Structure 1
Amino acid sequence: MAKYRHRLPQLEGGLFLTDGGLETTLIFHKGVELPHFAAFDLLRTIEGREMLRDYHVPYIEAARSNGYGFILDGPTWRASSDWGTKLGYSKEALAAVNRDAVALTLELRDAHETPAMPMVVSATLGPRGDGYVAGELMSAQEAQAYHAEQIGVFADTEADMLTAFTLTNTAEAIGIARTAKAAGMPVALSFTLETDGKLPTGDRLADAIGSVDAATGSYAAYYMINCAHPTHFESTLREGGAWLKRLRGIRANASKRSHAELNEAPDLDAGDPQELGAQYRSLLSSYPHIRIVGGCCGADDRHIACIGTACRHPAAA
């Protein structure tokens, strides 16, 4: 039985940390080859499983040392059918690896959770296409059909919730929310933003959240921003509005580069961990309803440690 599926503790107060950029950490810091950025493929081997397990420990320690909760996001961002096919996975093998990923996060929770540090197991989804560009768009109905298979697998595990990262458009977010509702799974929807604070489709974040809520009866537990630097979306947040209260989490890039620049760069721009921590502190001071903080591309355990320390006293910003 899922521990927190019917009562997510991150909605009840307190700060929750997440990890950083899993794929960029594995590629640039660990020297791991990840075809199609598919970290779930590491679950095929004992060594790969240990690498994924060890990866999470410094982030969990950052949460523990600061008195925060922690959200364990699994490595299944690329583990949907189109990407699985590209990597040679059958339907059955892909279902098995999604279950294995949840099992790994459950093992981590069993080993590290304390009464003072609740750990929420979140099954991760990614977009059908690229997380940086909108590409060919599906209808909401097509998105429902596409994501139903992976969400159905997760619903039969002990995962507490779903989180869909790097969503580039509203139709796919609507489809995921509808499928999650049908499966009885809480879901968080996280949008990719460009340097102008808008979705890759050009939609304003306020309009995207409003459209998804209108089409789904506000089913999403909350919304997040990821794969953008705080300087990219500060002005978007300052616009304000009722939609802002639906935004509960931020997983920012370490780099201020655009997505195009990141795609073309041969190196990893890790930015300044201390500066990023200060920027998060300022964000939480201005928007105290934001309770979930972590990293995305280029962010590693150094960044999350700085964010965790800085956010202990956000009012000091």
Structure 2
Amino acid sequence: MTTPRYRDALPQLSGRRMLTDSGLETTLIFHDGIDLPLFASFALLASADGRARLRGYFDRHAEIAVSHGIGFIADTPTWRASRDWGERLGFDAVALARLNREAVRMMFALRDRWESPATPVVVSGNIGPRGDGYAPDRMMTPEEAQDYHAQQVETFARAGVDMITVMTMTHAGEAIGIARAAKAAAVPVSMGLTVETDGRLPTGQPLGEAIQEIDGSGAAPTYYMINCAHPDHFRDVLAAGGAWRDRIRAIRANASRKSHAELDEATELDAGDPHGLGADYAGLLRLLPNLSVFGGCCGTDHRHVAAMAEACIAEAA
């Protein structure tokens, strides 16, 4: 097992602003023209060409962080690398564990290329939902979710990740289960919740209420993230206030203002306005006092992340 470098002292928890990557699957499908069944980028880890594509993507984003003199959170390309998705793609449990470990090794190598005392690189294992990332098509109890996700969490923990990043959680039950698995493995976790155009989770639960429910479960995440929604969809909810906002340290927003249903039906990329999205992030700094991690989700690419750096990080230096 590789000894984690930052597991007990994540730089972003001290208020240090850091970048992460953007819409990986968006870039691979719409910009690189790669066929990506089930949006499963982890499958590219199984071939030399696929690994080269992923390295190029992550290097491009790490370079943006380093050029601004700040750190980078390297999330593994493993959003779909859990049991049910793996089985649908022909990967058994042994193969999935091997690819999850390969993804971590790739991020360690990226850290070797880019890290310096001024630019820490935090390696994070990325976990996605068991079901649809846009809709709560499979509601799970915390117990079911912990049982399902524990294998991937434990694989990451043994591989030496600094933390785990959870993305596109649609309901509190699954989020609690993953948080419990992370607590059992003694790994910090960023819990990414997705919201609809009204700022509520796809279940209809208010964002603040969901955070309070998860925090009250006995396995509170290290911090929260909002992802896979445009700032227009949740800005008013944040502006309404509430102590729960202090728990949000990361934003990975969509480039598009479209709803999840509209994005699901879209056949063309809606990349929005990179500079406008960067300005939106700067505005969120006034609503989220602990916001310190900036990245993108659907429709975003390295241009959006560079705009975030200019708007949110360079001006704070």
Q: 1:40 aligns with which of 42, 59, 74?
A: 42
2:162 & 2:147 partners in 1: Cα distance? Answer: 22
- 2:187 alignment partner AA: M
1:155 deviation in Å?
1.1
Whether the aligned pair in 1 keeps the contact of 2:180 and 2:219 (CA below 8 Å) is: no
1:121 & 1:210 partners in 2: Cα distance? Answer: 27
Whether the aligned pair in 1 keeps the contact of 2:80 and 2:86 (CA below 8 Å) is: yes
Whether the aligned pair in 2 keeps the contact of 1:177 and 1:216 (CA below 8 Å) is: no
2:135 & 2:286 partners in 1: Cα distance? Answer: 31
List aligned pairs for 1:35-184, cutoff 5 A: 35-184=37-186
Whether the aligned pair in 1 keeps the contact of 2:200 and 2:206 (CA below 8 Å) is: yes
- 1:124 alignment partner AA: N
Structure 2 gaps of 5+ residues are none
Aligned to 2:223: 222
Whether the aligned pair in 1 keeps the contact of 2:66 and 2:114 (CA below 8 Å) is: no
Whether the aligned pair in 2 keeps the contact of 1:20 and 1:304 (CA below 8 Å) is: yes
Aligned to 2:251: 250
2:7 & 2:313 partners in 1: Cα distance? Answer: 27
Whether the aligned pair in 1 keeps the contact of 2:246 and 2:289 (CA below 8 Å) is: no
Aligned to 1:289: 290
Whether the aligned pair in 1 keeps the contact of 2:190 and 2:224 (CA below 8 Å) is: yes
1:8 & 1:271 partners in 2: Cα distance? Answer: 32
TM-score, normalisation: structure 2 = 0.97
Q: 1:187 aligns with which of 186, 189, 193?
A: 189
1:51 & 1:93 partners in 2: Cα distance? Answer: 20
State the secondary structure of the residue aligned to 1:312.
Answer: helix
Greater CA drift, 257-266 or 62-71: 62-71
1:122 deviation in Å?
0.4
State the secondary structure of the residue aligned to 1:188.
Answer: strand
- Number of equivalent positions: 314
Q: 1:200 aligns with which of 193, 199, 202?
A: 202
1:64 deviation in Å?
1.2
Structure 1 gaps of 5+ residues are none
TM-score, normalisation: structure 1 = 0.97
1:120 & 1:37 partners in 2: Cα distance? Answer: 24
1:286 deviation in Å?
3.5
Aligned to 1:259: 260
2:313 & 2:109 partners in 1: Cα distance? Answer: 28
1:313 deviation in Å?
5.9
Q: 1:2 aligns with which of 1, 4, 8?
A: 4
Cα offsets for 1:47-101 (capped at 9, x unmatched): 1101100101221121112222110000000000000000001110111000000
Cα offsets for 1:168-221 (capped at 9, x unmatched): 000000000001111111111000110000100000110000000000243x11
1:145 & 1:5 partners in 2: Cα distance? Answer: 23
Whether the aligned pair in 2 keeps the contact of 1:285 and 1:314 (CA below 8 Å) is: no
- 1:303 alignment partner AA: H
Whether the aligned pair in 1 keeps the contact of 2:270 and 2:299 (CA below 8 Å) is: yes
- 2:295 alignment partner AA: G
2:19 & 2:127 partners in 1: Cα distance? Answer: 19
